[in-house]
Amino acid sequence: MNGQVFLIVSACIVGADARAADTTIDFDDLLPGYWSGGEYAGQGVTFSTAGSFLIADDSSFDSVPILVAGSVDGSRADAPITARFWRPGGEPGLTDAVRFNVIDFGGVEEWSARIYGVGGELLETVVGTGGAFGDPHLVEFTRPSPDIHAVTFLPSVEYEGIDTLVFGAVVPAPATLGLWAGAIVLGGKRRPRRAR
Ligand SMILES: [Ca+2]
Ligand SMILES: [Ca+2]
């Protein structure tokens, strides 16, 4: 293998690795209807809703299923949907990039999306109105380092869902590092008190 070929092959391998780190969930393997939210746990993500149900909805459009959530009374698809990221074994995980499409099957009203850290802290919010069927609105969060544990989509009362969720590699949350840092800080504060 000469040097030029080696460089090309190396570049291809690096490119493939970068793409392989992303996981895409398009919900297309779900049959339309109710689902638990745990169907993709093996891929590092679970879904839940503040409403009463999650549903894979094709809504008789040409689209393959999207994910929507019903409100508590079950009459509308307008409840928040939260995706959480996990490591194998069920430990909380963090990623540095999340994106998904908003698909709007109803009238134009304001929706929002939020990302949260592992302690539930709000990191960023995006507000929008786009996403008409046939013209998906891309919502994208990119962080300088992996600190996204959850993303919540808050639809309006006018029927939006999400599709094609893509997220970067999920790494362990540094809980152990946090505990050690706390112990060091506490230890450092205690010594002067004893000396007084
Ligand atoms: Ca889909
Ligand atoms: Ca709408």
Q: Minimum-distance ligand to the CA of 58?
A: 1
Q: Which two tokens stand for residue 173?
A: 């949350």
Mean pLDDT of 105-134: 92
Of 36-40, 62-66, 155-159, the range with the lowest mean pLDDT is 62-66
Phi-psi domain of 23 (left: phi exceeds 0; alpha: psi -120 through 50; beta: other): beta
> What's the CA angle centered on 92, arms 171 and 117, to 5 degrees?
85
Q: Minimum-distance ligand to the CA of 165?
A: 1
The pLDDT, as a whole number, for residue 29 is: 85
Q: Is the pLDDT of residue 41 over 80?
A: yes
| 84 CA from centroid of ligand 2 (Å) | 24
The pLDDT, as a whole number, for residue 44 is: 97
| 19 CA from centroid of ligand 1 (Å) | 20
Q: Minimum-distance ligand to the CA of 76?
A: 2
* Percentage of residues in the chain having pLDDT higher than 90: 46
Mean pLDDT of 95-113: 93
Which is higher by pLDDT, 31 or 20?
A: 31
Q: Domain 21-188 carries which CATH code? A: 2.60.120
Mean pLDDT of 58-66: 58
Q: Minimum-distance ligand to the CA of 158?
A: 2
Q: Minimum-distance ligand to the CA of 56?
A: 1
| 125 CA from centroid of ligand 1 (Å) | 23
70 near 55, Cβ under 8 Å?
yes
Q: Is the pLDDT of residue 139 over 90?
A: yes
How far apart are the C-alpha atoms of 80 and 78, rounded to whole Å? 7
Mean pLDDT of 102-119: 92
Is the CA virtual torsion 53, 109, 117, 98 positive or negative? positive
| 186 CA from centroid of ligand 1 (Å) | 49
| 133 CA from centroid of ligand 2 (Å) | 10
The pLDDT, as a whole number, for residue 14 is: 46
Q: Minimum-distance ligand to the CA of 109?
A: 2
Q: Which two tokens stand for residue 83?
A: 């995706």
Provide the mean pLDDT of the chain: 80
Q: Is the pLDDT of residue 117 over 60?
A: yes
| 26 CA from centroid of ligand 1 (Å) | 4
Q: What is the pLDDT of residues 147-175, one digit of tens each?
A: 999 999 999 988 888 999 999 999 999 86
Q: Which two tokens stand for residue 115?
A: 């990302």
| 61 CA from centroid of ligand 2 (Å) | 15
Which is higher by pLDDT, 166 or 182?
A: 166
